[in-house]
C-alpha cells in the first residue's frame, strides 16, 4: 500500500515537473499570469481611491479573476497540448492512472500560474502603495490552498472538455469573459440581472472571494470556504469520471489522437 | 491582360491582386463560422465586461465612459491580436523570401493583406455595440455615437498598423502571442478607454502614441459638443507613425535575413 502511494506520488510529481518545465517556454503563461493581473489591478485600482478593506477585496477579485484565465489557458490546455505534441496516448494509457498524470500536470500548471499572479500582483500593490488589511493571515493562506486545489480540479475538468472537441483553442477564448462577467468576482452577483444571480454560486473561486471579503471586514466565516471545498471535490470527481469516459471511448473507437 | 503584361503591369493592378488575395487569405484563416462563433462573442463579452465593470467601480457616469471606451478596447485589442496572422502565415509557410523578391515591397504586401482585419473588426464592433448597448441600458448613448462611427473605423486602422509592427517585431522568435497581447493590454491601460486620462501620469505619457487614445478623445469631445477634428487628425498621425514603425521593423528583418541567409523572420 505504502509502495503504491509512493509510486503515485512520484508519478504526480514527475507530471508536475514536466508541465512546469513546458510552461517556461509558453508566452501565453506570461500573458495570463503576469500581464493580465497587472493590467486589471491598474485598471480597477486606478479608477477610484480604495480604503484598506476595499484594497483587500479588490486584490482578491483580481487575483481570482486572473486565476480563472490562467486555469483555462494553462491547466485546462494540458490534454489539448498533449494531443498536439502527439504524446496524449502515451500519457493516458501508461501503467499509471490517466487521472493521476492529469492531476500532476494540472497541479503543476496551477501552482506555476498562482506564483506568477501573486508575484506580479504584489509588485503592482507595492507600486501603487496600497495599504492592506490582513486581519487573519493564517486563514488567507488556507484560502490560497483552496484556490490552488480548485484551480487544479477546474483545470482537469476543462482539460477533459477540450479533449472531446477539436476546437479547444476557440473554447478557451470563449470561456474567459463569461466567467469574468458571471463569476461573481469583479462584477458582484447583485450587479447581475436577478435571473442570472444563481450562476456565480457554481464557481468555487467566487466562494473563496466571499470568504476573503468576510475576513477583511469582520470575523472568520467558514461556510463560504466549505462550499468552495465541496465544489472543488465535485469538479475533481466529475473530471475523473469524464476523463475515464473520454479515454475509454477514444480507445474503443481508435480516435484518441484524432478528435 | 497577358502574362507578360502582368509581369510588367502597373503597380495598381498588383496592389489590387494583393488585396484580393488578402481577403481570400482572411476568409481561409477566419471563415464566417470563426468570425461569428468566436471573434464576435469574444468582442461582445469584452465590451460588456468593461461596461459593467465601469458601472460597478464608479457608477452610471463611468459606465457610460467605459462603454464608449470599451468599444475602442474591444476593437483595438481584437485587431491587434488577429492581424498578427498575416506575418505568421509567411513564417509558418516559409514564404517570406517570395515577399522579399516581389515587385511590391513586403510592407505594402503586408498592409494590403491586413486590410480585412480592421474592416471585419469594425463590422463585428457594430454588431457588438448593437447588442451591448440595450443590455447595459445605454441605447441612447449608442445612437449619439453613430455620427462618429467613422472614428472607430479609423482606430481600427491605427490598431492594424500597431499590430503589424508588433507582430513583425516578434514573429521571428514565435513571440507574437506575447507581444500582440502585451500591445493589447497597453491599449487597455494607456488609451484612456477605461482609466480616464490624468490618473497615472506615466500611463498618460505612453498613451499619446497608443492606438485609440486620440480617437477616443475626439469621440468624447463630440459627446460633450466640443471641437473634435484635431483628435481625429492626431489619431491618423499615430496610425501613420505605427505604419512607419512597421516598415522599419520589416526592413530590419529583411536586412537580417539577407545577412544571415535565412528567410523566415528568424
pLDDT of residue A5: 87
Contact, A126 vs A164, CB < 8 A? no
Residue A198 has pLDDT above 90, yes or no: yes
Residue B266 has pLDDT above 70, yes or no: no
Q: Which three cell numbers stand for residue A186?
A: 469583479
Mean pLDDT computed over A230-236: 97
B266 located within any domain: no
Chain A positions in Cβ-Cβ contact with residue B177 (cut-off 8 Å): 27-28, 31
Q: What span, in angstroms and rounded, lies between the C-alpha atoms of B118 and B72?
A: 12
Residue B263 has pLDDT above 70, yes or no: no
pLDDT of residue B265: 62
Q: What span, in angstroms and rounded, lies between the C-alpha atoms of B40 and B124?
A: 6
- Residue B209: CB partners within 8 Å, gap ≥ 6? B238, B241
Looking at the complex, report in whole angstroms how far the Cα of residue A128 sits from the nearest Cα belonging to chain B: 10
Looking at the complex, report in whole angstroms how far the Cα of residue A46 sits from the nearest Cα belonging to chain B: 7
Look at A77-81, B29-33, B207-211 and tell me which has the smallest mean pLDDT.
Answer: A77-81
Chain B, nearest residue to A173 by Cα:
B42
Q: What span, in angstroms and rounded, lies between the C-alpha atoms of A192 and A173?
A: 22
Mean pLDDT computed over B233-246: 96
Which of B55, B56, B178 is opposite residue A27, by nearest beta carbon? B178
Angle, CA A142 vertex, CA A205 and CA A158 arms, to 5°: 35
> Binning pLDDT at 50, 70 and 90, where does residue A259 land?
low
pLDDT of residue A183: 93
Q: What span, in angstroms and rounded, lies between the C-alpha atoms of B102 and B11?
A: 11
pLDDT of residue A258: 61
Angle, CA A93 vertex, CA A92 and CA A95 arms, to 5°: 110
Looking at the complex, report in whole angstroms how far the Cα of residue B41 sits from the nearest Cα belonging to chain A: 7
In terms of pLDDT, which residue wins out, A132 or A30?
A: A30
Contact, A12 vs A100, CB < 8 A? yes
Question: Would you give the DSSP letter of residue A259?
Answer: -
Chain A positions in Cβ-Cβ contact with residue B195 (cut-off 8 Å): 42-43, 46-47
CA atoms within 13 A on the CB side of B180: 27
pLDDT of residue A220: 86
Chain A positions in Cβ-Cβ contact with residue B78 (cut-off 8 Å): none
Average pLDDT, chain B: 90
Inter-chain CB proximity B200 and A46 less than 8 Å: yes
Which of A48, A177, A188 is opposite residue B45, by nearest beta carbon? A177
pLDDT, tens digit, for every residue of A136-166? 889 999 999 999 999 999 999 999 887 777 7
DSSP string, chain B: --HHHHHH--HHHHHHHHHHHHHHHHHHHS-HHHIIIIIHHHHHHHHHHHHHHHHHHHHHHHHHHHHHHHHHHHHHHHHHHHHTHHHHHHHHHT-HHHHHTSSS-HHHHHHHHHTHHHHHHHHHHHHHHHHHHHHTT-HHHHHHHGGGHHHHHHHHHHHHHHHHHHHHHHGGGT-HHHHHHHHHHHHHHHSSSSS-TTSSHHHHHHHTTSTTHHHHHHHHHHHHT---HHHHHHHHHHHHHHHHHHHHHHHHHHHHHHHHT--S--
- Number of other residues whose CB lies within 10 A of the CB of residue A209: 27
pLDDT, tens digit, for every residue of B76-105? 999 999 999 998 888 888 888 788 888 889
Its sign, for the CA torsion A28, A32, A34, A35, is: positive
Convert A181-242 into a string of H (helix), E (strand) and C (coil).
Answer: HHCCCCCCHHHCCHHHCCHHHHCHHHHHHHHHHHHHHCCCCHHHHHHHHHHHHHHHHHHHHH
Inter-chain CB proximity A39 and B56 less than 8 Å: no
Q: Which three cell numbers stand for residue A216?
A: 477583511
Residue B8 has pLDDT above 70, yes or no: no
Looking at the complex, report in whole angstroms how far the Cα of residue B185 sits from the nearest Cα belonging to chain A: 6
- Hey, is the C-beta of B197 within 8 angstroms of any chain A C-beta? no
Among A123-127, B5-9, B169-173, B215-219, the range of highest mean pLDDT? B215-219
Residue B172 has pLDDT above 80, yes or no: no
Mean pLDDT computed over A202-229: 92
CA dihedral B129, B132, B136, B137 (to 10 degrees): 60
Show the domain range for B159. Answer: 3-260
pLDDT of residue A78: 87
pLDDT of residue A103: 94
Inter-chain CB proximity A170 and B37 less than 8 Å: yes
Chain A, nearest residue to B35 by Cα:
A170
Contact, B189 vs A43, CB < 8 A? yes
B265 located within any domain: no
DSSP string, A120-154: HHHHHHHHHTPPP--S-HHHHHHHHHHHHHHHHHH
pLDDT of residue A257: 67
Report the domain count for chain B: 1
Q: What span, in angstroms and rounded, lies between the C-alpha atoms of A62 and A49?
A: 16
Residue with cell string 462584477 = A187
pLDDT of residue B233: 97
Residue A221 has pLDDT above 80, yes or no: yes
pLDDT, tens digit, for every residue of A92-103? 888 888 899 999
- Hey, is the C-beta of B200 within 8 angstroms of any chain A C-beta? yes
> Binning pLDDT at 50, 70 and 90, where does residue A111 land?
very high
Asked whether the ipTM of the predicted complex exceeds the cut of 0.85, the reply is yes
pLDDT of residue A156: 94
Residue B6 has pLDDT above 70, yes or no: no
> Binning pLDDT at 50, 70 and 90, where does residue B141 land?
very high
In terms of pLDDT, which residue wins out, B178 or A233?
A: A233
CA neighbor of A217 nearest in space, from A225, A206, A209: A209
Which of A27, A173, A191 is opposite residue B38, by nearest beta carbon? A173
Look at A41-50, A224-233, B42-51, B62-71 and tell me which has the smallest mean pLDDT.
Answer: A41-50
- Give the whole-number percent of chain A exceeding pLDDT 70: 99
Looking at the complex, report in whole angstroms how far the Cα of residue B145 sits from the nearest Cα belonging to chain A: 23
Q: What span, in angstroms and rounded, lies between the C-alpha atoms of B55 and B60?
A: 5
> Binning pLDDT at 50, 70 and 90, where does residue B122 land?
very high
Which of A28, A31, A49 is the best substitution to test chain B (most B C-beta atoms within 10 A)? A31
- Hey, is the C-beta of B43 within 8 angstroms of any chain A C-beta? no
Amino acid at each position: 500500500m505504502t509502495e503504491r502511494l509512493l509510486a503515485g506520488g512520484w508519478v504526480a510529481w514527475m507530471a508536475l515537473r514536466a508541465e512546469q518545465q513546458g510552461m517556461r517556454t509558453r508566452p501565453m503563461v506570461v500573458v495570463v499570469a503576469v500581464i493580465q493581473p497587472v493590467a486589471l489591478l491598474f485598471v480597477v485600482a486606478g479608477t477610484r481611491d480604495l480604503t484598506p478593506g476595499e484594497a483587500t477585496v479588490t486584490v482578491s477579485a483580481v487575483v481570482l479573476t486572473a486565476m480563472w484565465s490562467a486555469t483555462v489557458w494553462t491547466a485546462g490546455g494540458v490534454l489539448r497540448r498533449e494531443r498536439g505534441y502527439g504524446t496524449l496516448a502515451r500519457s493516458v494509457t501508461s501503467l499509471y492512472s490517466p487521472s493521476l498524470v492529469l492531476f500532476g500536470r494540472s497541479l503543476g500548471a496551477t501552482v506555476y500560474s498562482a506564483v506568477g499572479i501573486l508575484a506580479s500582483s504584489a509588485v503592482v500593490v507595492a507600486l501603487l502603495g496600497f495599504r492592506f488589511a490582513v486581519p487573519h493571515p493564517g486563514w488567507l493562506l488556507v484560502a490560497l490552498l483552496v484556490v490552488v486545489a480548485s484551480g487544479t480540479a477546474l483545470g482537469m475538468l476543462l482539460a477533459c472538455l477540450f479533449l472531446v472537441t477539436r476546437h479547444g483553442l476557440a473554447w478557451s477564448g470563449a470561456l474567459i469573459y463569461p466567467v469574468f462577467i458571471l463569476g461573481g468576482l469583479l462584477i458582484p452577483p447583485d450587479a447581475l440581472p436577478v435571473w442570472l444571480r444563481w450562476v456565480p454560486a457554481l464557481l468555487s473561486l467566487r466562494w473563496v472571494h466571499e470568504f476573503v471579503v468576510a475576513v477583511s471586514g469582520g470575523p472568520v466565516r467558514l461556510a463560504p470556504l466549505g462550499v468552495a471545498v465541496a465544489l472543488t471535490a465535485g469538479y475533481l470527481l466529475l473530471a475523473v469520471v469524464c476523463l475515464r469516459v473520454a479515454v475509454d471511448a477514444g480507445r474503443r473507437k481508435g480516435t484518441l489522437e484524432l478528435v | 491582360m497577358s502574362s507578360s503584361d502582368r509581369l510588367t503591369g502597373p503597380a495598381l493592378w498588383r496592389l489590387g491582386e494583393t488585396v484580393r488575395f488578402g481577403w481570400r487569405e482572411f476568409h481561409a484563416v477566419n471563415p464566417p463560422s470563426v468570425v461569428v462563433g468566436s471573434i464576435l462573442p469574444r468582442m461582445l463579452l469584452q465590451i460588456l465586461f468593461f461596461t459593467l465593470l465601469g458601472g460597478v467601480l464608479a457608477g452610471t457616469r463611468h459606465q457610460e465612459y467605459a462603454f464608449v471606451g470599451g468599444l475602442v478596447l474591444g476593437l483595438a485589442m481584437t485587431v491587434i491580436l488577429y492581424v498578427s496572422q498575416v506575418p505568421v502565415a509567411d513564417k509558418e509557410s516559409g514564404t517570406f523570401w517570395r515577399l522579399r523578391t516581389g515587385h511590391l515591397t513586403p510592407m505594402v504586401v503586408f498592409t494590403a493583406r491586413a486590410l480585412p482585419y480592421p474592416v471585419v473588426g469594425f463590422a463585428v464592433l457594430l454588431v457588438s455595440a448593437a447588442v451591448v448597448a440595450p443590455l447595459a441600458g445605454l441605447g441612447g448613448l449608442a445612437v449619439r455615437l453613430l455620427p462618429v462611427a467613422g472614428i472607430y473605423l479609423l482606430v481600427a486602422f491605427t490598431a492594424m498598423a500597431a499590430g503589424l509592427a508588433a507582430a513583425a517585431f516578434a514573429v521571428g522568435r514565435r513571440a507574437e502571442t506575447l507581444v500582440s497581447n502585451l500591445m493589447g493590454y497597453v491599449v487597455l491601460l494607456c488609451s484612456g478607454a477605461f482609466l480616464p486620462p490624468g490618473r497615472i501620469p506615466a500611463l498618460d505619457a505612453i498613451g499619446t502614441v497608443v492606438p485609440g487614445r486620440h480617437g477616443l478623445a475626439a469621440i468624447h469631445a463630440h459627446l460633450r459638443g466640443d471641437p473634435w477634428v484635431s483628435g481625429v487628425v492626431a489619431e491618423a498621425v499615430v496610425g501613420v507613425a505605427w505604419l512607419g514603425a512597421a516598415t522599419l521593423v520589416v526592413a530590419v528583418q529583411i536586412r537580417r535575413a539577407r545577412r544571415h541567409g535565412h528567410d523566415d523572420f528568424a
